[in-house]
Structure 1
Amino acid sequence: MTLVILIFSYLLGAVPFGLVLVRAAGLGDIRTMGSGNIGATNVLRTGRKDLAFATLLLDSGKGAIAVLLAGMLSSFDARVMAVAGAAAFVGHCFPVYLGFKGGKGVATFLGTLLALNIKVALVAGGVWLAVAAVTRYSSLSALLAAALTPFLFLVFGQWAFFAASVVMTALIFLRHRENILRLMDGTETKIGKGPRDDAVA
């Protein structure tokens, strides 16, 4: 059953909602626009706030659904739920449907956190908002919020969730490696200033 949950969670996470919604709206392939990312921020560059918001909800939702469904099928076994959330996250970052070229995972990460521990999700979300408000760097906000998450799970003594969050945080840093380089050399674009503020994807 755990293997079935793992595979289902990955396949659910791999659904590229941004791509699907933009195509369904007759706007073309989101991968050829803006930053080329499939996430909500790049969808916003089409000028359709409704599509961007829907993408954000769906990309977050697939992480939450994977965790909650895994919980119901496993009598809320923390290890199974953690694996399901991580699998959905990996699916978004490396979707089989798109040749394993996906988004950066922040929205799916947040949805997974909401289902695993809403307190952790709220703190991480608060950190993202605070850093974004002060620095205007979406990528830095995402990186700091993700880095804090494993420590929050340690505080709550949730070891399975801690392990899953370490994996997801490491992948978020990996997926943001170009953003990190731009932050270091001072060329990262701030929120609302150009095509690179694509951390929520």
Structure 2
Amino acid sequence: MNTLIATIAAYLIGSISFAVVMSRVFGLSDPRTYGSKNPGATNVLRSGNKKAAIATLIGDGFKGWLAVWLAIKYGPQYGIDDAGVALVAIAVFLGHLWPVFFRFVGGKGVATALGVLLGINVWLGLATLATWLIVAYAFRYSSLAALVASVFAPFYYGLLFGADEILFAVAAMSALLLYRHSGNIANLMAGKESKIGSKSAGAKKK
């Protein structure tokens, strides 16, 4: 029962879309109406408001970290084992992808996935983040960096901890990230993908 409660709570935490919340706070257009129409930090950055984008990135990452950290820190005393932590990790990620508070229209999950990985283990998160940064700096495509990092994340976990229930959760997140970036993959192959920092004409203040 405690594992079920923790899983539902994690989903609700994940359902807080900081891209939408921060856009409202900063008086920007809804990120679901311009650019890639993805409520995430990269699309918010297309508004030209770096503060809003940074706040979105931190918020989406923090919620992933918080849910997993709470499960690992306090879960054992309530009978939540590694399988329960794995469920919490997937649940907070699914909440971001399909948030109940925003008609199930969510982001692609990059920042939240990173938060989850940092919550599981800081070195796992940092290794994945370093992969993202290297690819993003070299090619200037956020989506490409996310795709490469998502492929490497389960590999990093396996090297650090071997095969267990949490590895399954990490692999599931990676698969979902690849799925959510299917449109970006097509754009990359067609040479139509927007680079980091490019602005959208529809991203205006209200």
Q: Is the TM value for this pair above 0.5?
A: yes
For residues 60-118 of structure 1, the C-alpha deviation after alignment (integer angstroms, 9 at most, x for no partner) is 00000000111233227322222211111110011111221100000000000001011
Q: For residue 48 of structure 1, report the CA deviation from its aligned partner.
A: 2.1
Give, in whole Å, the separation in 2 of the partners of 1:78 and 1:53. Answer: 32
Partner of 1:59: 60
Partner of 1:105: 109
- Structure 1, unaligned runs of 5 or more: 196-201
Give, in whole Å, the separation in 1 of the partners of 2:30 and 2:140. Answer: 28
Partner of 2:142: 138
Give, in whole Å, the separation in 1 of the partners of 2:72 and 2:99. Answer: 23
Give, in whole Å, the separation in 2 of the partners of 1:193 and 1:26. Answer: 20
The one of 111, 115, 120 equivalent to 1:116 is 120
Partner of 1:4: 5
The one-letter code of the counterpart of 2:181 is: H
* CA-based RMSD: 1.6
Query: Is the 8 Å Cα contact of residues 5 and 84 (structure 1) preserved in structure 2?
Result: yes
TM-score by length of 2: 0.88
Give, in whole Å, the separation in 2 of the partners of 1:182 and 1:28. Answer: 24
Query: Is the 8 Å Cα contact of residues 24 and 30 (structure 2) preserved in structure 1?
Result: yes
Tell me if 1:78 matches 2:82: yes
Partner of 2:49: 48
The one of 180, 187, 195 equivalent to 2:185 is 180
Tell me if 1:126 matches 2:127: no
Counting aligned pairs with the same residue, the percent is: 46
Query: Is the 8 Å Cα contact of residues 71 and 80 (structure 1) preserved in structure 2?
Result: no
For residues 32-66 of structure 1, the C-alpha deviation after alignment (integer angstroms, 9 at most, x for no partner) is 23322211112222232212111111100000000
Tell me if 1:166 matches 2:171: yes
Give, in whole Å, the separation in 1 of the partners of 2:114 and 2:146. Answer: 10
Residue-pair matches, total: 195
Query: Is the 8 Å Cα contact of residues 71 and 88 (structure 2) preserved in structure 1?
Result: yes
Seen in structure 2, the aligned counterparts of structure 1 residues 183 and 107 have a Cα distance that, compared at 3 Å, is same
For residues 131-170 of structure 1, the C-alpha deviation after alignment (integer angstroms, 9 at most, x for no partner) is 1122222111100101011111111215122100111001
- The alignment partner of 1:183 has SS state of helix
Please identify runs of 4+ aligned residues in structure 1 that moved more than 4 A.
Answer: none
Query: Is the 8 Å Cα contact of residues 151 and 162 (structure 1) preserved in structure 2?
Result: no
Relative CO higher for 1 or 2, CA cutoff 8 Å, sep ≥ 6? 2
Give, in whole Å, the separation in 1 of the partners of 2:52 and 2:152. Answer: 30
Q: For residue 2 of structure 1, report the CA deviation from its aligned partner.
A: 0.3
Give, in whole Å, the separation in 2 of the partners of 1:34 and 1:186. Answer: 16
Q: For residue 190 of structure 1, report the CA deviation from its aligned partner.
A: 2.3
